[in-house]
Structure 1
């Protein structure tokens, strides 16, 4: 089925009739081909900002009619809404872009005639303004604007191809017409002037250049126009380059190579070498909504997900957010604000999430990522050696395990593309032999090292020419990073070197197995004062670190691997680095929680940190110094309180001892008194008995005898 959007939307060249609302719904699904659109998004495409209350019912009716017209299985119902399945659907806008890519490749291969035919075929697809029915809908406006800009570019590429093919007679008239259509497009004036020069009309060529410069200066304030200014000088000196096969192109004043930092979404036009992987990644995201990009360090994962995937979907009008976990990974997810269903979240350098101090925070981070899969598209980039760590997070691992894209090192053809295409785009010339040397030296090496070496060659260029001699002087791929770092190091004083060491050791860490990793650190913990901030600026200028308003990060971990001095610093103070990292995160958490005493160091950890600070005298942030001072003060106060309590307890013990002694004495006295009283009682009891005995003994025998006889007589009478 053919859907044409370069003009009024039609199905199968108009053979399938569509009602206006059905056309708008189909157009919206085509703008976001392969992605899910909610009912509210489709309603916004049809009615703008004032949809009716019955919008859900109306949209469902449109979907039902479209399914009857184009086959039921072409429009899929998803949890978020509806999506148009790209299989077996030919969209003229996509064909237009494929033709542009093919024509550009033909032009690069030196086939200008074929390229001119291909570009003409691409332009023939246009019948009017793209997505004309949806111009009140934001995503359609963005897509239409991008396609219109591509059309202007193709018109100029067609002029370039025809000029290279030598068709200068007819080209002059075509170039003049294109200039009249878009007089503010500088490239059109350049082609017209070069065509006139090749016809032998040097005066006309000079007049064309000067008219263009005056017009552009008046309309845009572009004075002087770099390309036109250099073209004027080339015409005046009759530069042989004006008659070469290549169309004259002035060198760009900006370096076309990224260096160590990855390419961003704004660098898509300079990003080359991963075209096939990008096509596959986009297809997976359109169909599945989730993609895990893995690969060894230096293979170009960050550039791929940013300048490749991110830029592609941003150009389609999709909301894109890019985050890097950092020290507290869950915090970056809390700050993400993307619409449900029509967004792309890219988590770059996901391996940094595993460096968080709190395992619970790591689990929460991956649990949150698992939920975000159902809110929009998700791309996660991670170093291949940390893939095994994902197995500890089973929920997330189950979601991404079948959606893995493994980036491998670029082959020779890909490396040539990375080297040659940016140079050609920037109007630079590569000295013969340089590309072969670079491809040989870059075999199996990290792409950032190649890009950094090329950037250093650009700084040492001779005019527009990148030379082999400049490559040798840069330190080559093996030594370019170390050479750049040493150049920065050589400009610093002894105090500056100490600050440089302090900054880099906060940003780089070595694991127990010797592997080197980088950390994104809050800027306030690195640019502690003006002196530190100046060193940070120098490192940024050298593109050894990258920074924004909130954080700082080493541009690539290759810096730690390739610079021997930094490797030695890492090896010299492993324990100090561990203390510094723990102190930094603990102090930041303490400050964020309102500085409670419960979070302060104490005991052995405090003693270790204080001993390290006294021995090394590191540069600490105000929060870190406050943390240690508060911990020391709290420890001192606690010790003083403990000593006071001990003294109080000792006084109480002494008092208790006296009381106990008194009690013992009293007890002894009481016992003695009791004994004495008992003795007296016994004595008193025995005294009467002794008296009676004496009286008894004092009686006369006669009395005793008579009494005895009386008793005996009584007994006899009783028992008698």
Structure 2
């Protein structure tokens, strides 16, 4: 089987010479994203961001279904359940695994490289063949059907730039074989298409000169000079100047065939030392394989690469590791700038490092390096940015063989700059670094002697920051690893080399302080105040919490902190989220004065309270899932705000926060979290209870809503009696103060939990009351929930027609107001009614659709409950083996979040499990259950997707197919 992908034009694929139907725009974009990644793994989050950048993100199942459809199209003969060979899953994402020659963009790159080498070796005829073959692969603009998609921008730019190079090299080859007259027309077209590329002007001038048109050649050079001055404000580069001088002098070399363009007499070279100054590594280099490859690729495609990141992240070590593997003709050379304080001495420092005598400035340095083939590293440039940027512009403009690598804590902002932001070490690499460094400090202690769970905790607490990990390892001479872990609350005292010097890397505190002292005063103030955030934050949060700054300075100050690597921006989020490394946050917090800390925390609580109360109102609306995810991002800030409120003696604020989180904690199954904070807050609130004759309604309502929260999570914990007591008290308090909406919600909860506890007689009047209250307050979402509870009771009373009618009305109301959870809940109960009526196939289709249309990331407990019910339907429709796998997966994935089927669904979950067991012998059931326990969330979702075929049609036993119910 032969596969070919073409992206030099609209995306197409061919299998054994026949076109492949790749589906609609979205699945084609998934494939294009993976091809553009050039073999790199794209996480599912990154894929969704790239493919759905122009609209709301889909459910994870939608992406998986597109991948499954592409796999069927590209590997039509692959047996079911066998691993894919082309679109493969690796880690948390996907990659395309095909030989480079199967992608036309890669073939083109290889042919251009071959043609360039052939031209260098003096084989212009072979170069012409390679370059003609490569250019013939183009059918239009690269990625022509996705040219506006963000994920294609850099790849399209790379390919179009390489295409221009190929055209130039092809025309250089034509000049080399004497076809200058033929080449003139194409060169004229080339400089029109790419007027700022000097190479085309050089070749055109040489071709005109060889054709006996010296005046036209000089006119072309004059036109090039004028165009560069008008568009770029720059003078011609050395190549154009050499060609002009050669034409004016009628240099004989212009009449000779040339391989790589005109080559007049070269400038006299200033002798440089033959050796390089890249030091030998003192210790092993751990991890960073992907970053090394990325940095190498960036340096191959860009002449200025800036490596950024916070202090201690390993920028210098990464760059040095790359340099140690390079064999440039005149380098690499590493220029250390950390100790330099005078910006005017940057050029002289470079000259001294590479061995250029005298006291050259930037222009003289550029003249000497003009024809060097070298990588020049400017290390630790953050305090000399303006001077380094100016030198970079001069050198890059006049030294075509020079490549600059700069390490700094913020980019230079120079045209053509590529930036690599170095991230903390991944957990496994961080642990390996700590283990290796401890082994080096304690001779005789091997890697097996290190307590790896404790090592992992230390590395997490240190944010995977290499410097911090190295400093922690150094303390293992005196402290055990567990003692080091306990001492990290005072990490700035612990993480010290003990040498007593002021070097910026001597202590972790010095490293962060070096960056802090480079900030402006507004940046320093905002930096300190951002320390009250725990976890991430967005721009709105910064505006509300960053006090003491004029509104106009908040955003510029935040952007300055991001540029200077003291705040990290998560590029995969919309709106953008930011965070501080924990060590950086602790450093900032230590700088806060008492009054500044008090005010910042008060603003943080106010922001968080407003956020969760807004979220509570939005959860039963069409953007409910978005708000579930939004609140999920703030878990750490929620904890910080609750702890802060209780610490300053404001339990009313804590109660309002907990009350607003009732639905969020319930839907996301945060049992331990809800119980811990709910009970602590209730105790604090009751401890400050006002006098009996002076209890304000606001205090009573806050306590009622707090009890509603405790009741909901108590039910999830299986504490039904405690849940009923809390919810009954909540309902009574809400009624007492006339809070009708809260009263309605409390009665709905109370009716549901009472029914689940088995007290049908008591639950029936409560459910009827809930329906009446919901109708009075005129909240469709509340009425949908109340009717679903009432339908469950109708089913318990075996009145199935009434149950189905109530569910139909509930579903209609839920869909009309966009209350996604109520849609799922009513459909879920309807699937149970279908089983009661002897229609398990209908139940199976309903449940499959619910899972495909839902995102487990936003409501995992409901998703698992639906999957467990689907297992029962599979057991009743001839697919018990898949049902056993689902039961195993639900058991394994439910336990960590506190979900247990028999607690949430005590009436039906035992019967669903029994239906699967009854259809299998013990060995088959145990094997399927064990296989399910090995599945993670992505694999479980893929299993659900695989159970429904193309267009969501159920793939049941032989001869049993049908559309999944909508």
TM range (shorter): 0.3 to 0.5
Q: TM-score with structure 1 length normalisation?
A: 0.42
Q: State which structure, 1 or 2, has the greater radius of gyration over its C-alpha atoms.
A: 1
Higher relative CO (CA 8 A, sep ≥ 6), structure 1 or 2? Answer: 1
